[in-house]
């Protein structure tokens, strides 16, 4: 087993996981923002 290669695979896996987490957190932030905007409009109409 080549140690350099396994280390490279670990880094690639880590990058993929961090990309996924970043994407999820951005999506959650967008959902939170859109929900806040909708609630704000709803409060103004009432």
Residues 5-45 pLDDT 10s = 899 999 999 999 998 888 889 889 999 999 999 998 888 77
Q: Give me the pLDDT at residue 21, please.
A: 87
| Geometric angle at alpha carbon 21, from 19 and 25, rounded to 5° | 120
Q: What is the pTM of this model?
A: 0.45
Q: How many CA atoms lie within 13 A of 33 on its CB side?
A: 6
What CA–CA distance (Å, rounded) separates 18 from 21? 5
Q: Give me the pLDDT at residue 46, please.
A: 67
Dihedral sign for Cα atoms in the order 37, 38, 39, 43: positive
Q: Is 2 left (phi over 0), alpha (psi -120 to 50) or beta?
A: beta
Residue for token digits 């704000």?
Answer: 40
């Amino acid at each position: 087993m080549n140690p350099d290669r396994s280390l490279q695979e670990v880094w690639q896996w880590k990058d993929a996981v961090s990309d996924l987490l970043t994407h999820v957190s951005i999506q959650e932030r967008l959902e939170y923002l859109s929900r806040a905007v909708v609630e704000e409009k709803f409060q103004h109409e009432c």
